[in-house]
A = this chain, B = another copy of it.
Amino acid sequence: MIFASDNWAGAAPEISAGLEKHSAGMASAYGTSDFDNQVEARFCELLETQASVFFVGTGTAANSLAVAAATKPGGVAFCHNEAHLIEDECGAPEFFSAGGRLVRVPGKHGKIDPPHLASAIARYPNSFNHQGQATLVSVTQASEIGSVYSCEEVAAISAVARKNDLFVHMDGARFANALVDLDVSPAEMTWKSGVDLLSFGGTKNGCWCAEALVVFNPDLAENLPFLRKRTGHLFSKTRFVTAQFEAYLTDNLWLNLARHSNTMAGRLADGIRKSDRARLAWDNQSNLVFFVARDEIAEGLTKSGAQFYPNITPRDYGDVIGEDECIYRLVTNFSTTTSDVDSFLELLG
């Protein structure tokens, strides 16, 4: 009954097997081997376009390299108020962009609201050097509270960005979970909706550590080999990332793992809807479920062996919770079982 985080899980058996399969033999280092190139080509095929792919080991690296690739002196990037980028990366995007700034944009359900975005950008007119240069909007798909932007919603944000000459980044730490929720193609959810840079995450969905920064806009790819190297994110044995991705993208493993996680989350949500000791904070999407309960109930669950966190992004949800209540987060993953879910629901009652 561990619903603490999807990164508490290890690696899916197929990922382990993929690593094992490629562990012997010699191959050109630093991402220059034929095998590395094949996996890069696999990404392009999957995304139905030519793109540059930069393999790294953490989502923070992928996100921060994206911000850095798009930045200018005095660069200002915009993200949702609760985005991982601004809440949980210890200032890495600011560091990678040599002191760029992240600006919080409000919006309901964990998603950037386009009019709020437009007015946030308007505070940084390009002719006025006292403030900075707006450079990038980042959307988190799925968001920190598990919600998912529709393609139309991504496109609406991209439209605001384009109008202001900004680039669009998608933080896809839970890309697969969002994708199966929407049931669209990777191309539709990204470049066809105006995305220039994509952090394509594998780690939270069954890989050990496999993240790819996919760059659709060739102008933005130019400096990335240098940015990645000088931030220490070029692996000598890049093969260990590409081997994970090869397995991940074979036979729809990635989609199947995400579908399973989402299904488990749905089962949790259904159970909570029926409980009279807790209620859903909002309808779930992807693999995150948020429920509201009194503290004593949460404590009881914990004592009985369930592991989960109170909402770690303690924003204002005054409209959702009552006195003595808190929002709790449940995260499912590729290895969550129906038995895990049902035991939890039974405990909850």
Contact = CB atoms under 8 A, between A and B. Distances in A.
Contacts of A295: none
A252 interface: no
A58 B20 contact: no
A10 B88 contact: no
A116 to B, nearest CB: 13
A64 interface: yes
Given A10-B22, A27-B8, A203 B95 contact: no
A101 B10 CA distance: 33
Contacts of A228: 129
Interface string A63-99: 0100010001110100000000001111110111111
A130 interface: yes
A237 B223 contact: no
Contact of A209 (B88, B123, B237): B237
Total copies of this chain within the assembly: 4
A23 B320 CA distance: 38
Interface string A1-29: 01011011111010110011011111111
B234 A232 contact: no
Contacts of A15: 23
A74 B91 contact: yes
A132 B91 contact: yes
Contacts of A131: 87-88, 90
23 contacts: A4-B28, A5-B29, A8-B26, A9-B237, A10-B239, A11-B19, A11-B237, A19-B19, A72-B223, A74-B91, A74-B230, A87-B130, A88-B131, A89-B229, A90-B132, A91-B132, A94-B94, A95-B99, A95-B231, A129-B225, A130-B229, A209-B237, A232-B233
Given A20-B20, A90-B226, A98-B99, 8 more contacts: A7-B29, A57-B209, A74-B229, A97-B99, A98-B98, A129-B234, A209-B235, A231-B232
